[in-house]
Each structure stands twice: as structure tokens, then as C-alpha cells.
Chain A
Amino acid sequence: QSVLTQPPSVSAAPGQKVTISCSGSSTNIGKNYVSWYQHVPGTVPKLLIYDNNKRPSGIPDRFSGSKSGRSATLGIAGLQTGDEADYYCGTWESSLSVVVFGGGTKLTVL
């Protein structure tokens, strides 16, 4: 069971927007930055969002991140079939001095 809670799966049609939630506690999301990763099995995970809402160079602005209190959200607009992947949130767990990830959310673009 992961420290951060994500929905196991989400789905939407091409062109639509989807959001993926990540719920934590006061000792992780509540006091630290959140990052988001896209992982297609068999490939290397890709950093999508860091410091809650910043995008690395090369990540399109269709991807957005936000944080409020003990939860964070990843938004993906203008869905494409190529967005099908597993998405993970991550942050620092201050009570244990470790990095924690959510359990992952499988995105299906119908």
C-alpha cells in the first residue's frame, strides 16, 4: 500500500481533458514539492511536472500540475492516444527522510 493515494485508472476520449489526483498527508505533500512521471512499460519514466507545477523543457503545456494542502493534481488536456501510460506522483516524506511515490494511475484514451 502506497503512502500517496492515486486512482488505479482513469479514461477519457481523445481531445478531452483528464485529471489524476494524488492524496497524501501533512508530512509529505503537505510540506514538500510534488513531481509527476509518465511511464510507458518497457521505457524509462519521464518527468512531466516538478515543484508542483513546473514543466521541464520539452514537456507540452497540455500537461499541468497543481497542489492544494495535502493533495496534488495532474491535468492532461487535449488527450492523444500517445498519452496512454501509467502516471505516478512523488514527493519527500519528511517523517522518514525518504522519497515516496503513489501507486500509479493507468490512463486509457478511448
Chain B
Amino acid sequence: QVQLRQSGPGLVKPSQTLSLTCGISGDSVSSNSAVWNWIRQSPSRGLEWLGRTYYRSKWSGNYAVSVKSRIIINPDTSKNQFSLQLDSVTPEDTAVYFCARGDQYFDYWGQGTLVTVSS
């Protein structure tokens, strides 16, 4: 059974960096068939896919156009986890952030982390 466990702060100041981690059990971040994603949800924007990382003989990733200039999603093979880094946050980035496994659909999700951007 795949389980995703998120960790990271729930409060970030404007202009600073949001950092979250997603620990994986029951699968491998280096799997040649899995894809690892970050998705957020807010009342004003609904579900919003942010980006993904995956391994197919080499590491690759894709990012949403809306955040492409300030997002990094990195795998950590030593800890079997992956992380989200979102720079220069504003109150518009306040949302519940989820990690999730999947390519074109998402079958396993982390528990969600409410991240509030406020001074």
C-alpha cells in the first residue's frame, strides 16, 4: 500500500520560500513507472497542478506555466522522498498543498498541508 507523508511549515512570510517534503512508502521515488506531483487547492482557484518529477533512465520534470519561473521539485533518493520549493510567495499562494502519485491521473495523495502566506 502506497503512503505519502507530507511535512513542512504552515506559515510563510511574503517574498520568502515555501518548502514542503513528501515522504514515500510502498513505492520508490526512483521507480521507472511512477510520477510524483505537487498539487494545491484553494477556494478561489480550485485544484491547481504545480509540477512533477519522474525517473526514466534520467530525472525529468514538468512545471505549470503559472509558477514555472519560481518552482523547483526535487527527488531525494537517499530518503525516498521529493520536495517542493516555491520562491517569492505572495498571499495568492495561500492554499492546501498536496503531493500525489500519478502520470495522467492521481491515485495516491498526501494528507495535505495548509500553507498560509502572511507576515
Contacts and interface: CB of A to CB of B under 8 A. Distances in A.
Contacts of B112: 44
Interface string B99-119: 000001111011110000000
Given A45-B109, A90-B105, A98-B49, 14 more contacts: A32-B104, A33-B104, A35-B104, A37-B106, A44-B98, A45-B98, A45-B106, A47-B106, A50-B104, A50-B105, A88-B46, A98-B65, A101-B48, A101-B49
Contacts of A32: 104
B21 interface: no
Chain A, interface size category, equals: 20 to 34
A47 B106 CA distance: 7
B46 A2 contact: yes
B49 A50 contact: no
Interface string A67-110: 00000000000000000001010111000111111111000000
Contacts of A102: 46
Nearest to A2: B46
A99 to B, nearest CB: 4
Contacts of B2: none
Contact of B105 (A35, A44, A103, A104): A35
A47 B105 contact: yes
Contacts of A96: 65
Contacts of A92: 104
A47 B107 contact: yes
B11 interface: no
Contact of A37 (B47, B48, B63, B64): B47
A93 B105 CA distance: 13
A100 B65 contact: no
A97 to B, nearest CB: 5
Interface in B17-54: 37, 41, 43, 46-49, 52
B62 interface: yes
Q: For the complex of A and B, list the 4 residue pairs with the smallest distance between their C-beta atoms, beginning with the closest.
A: A35-B105, A99-B49, A50-B105, A104-B46
Contacts of B43: 41
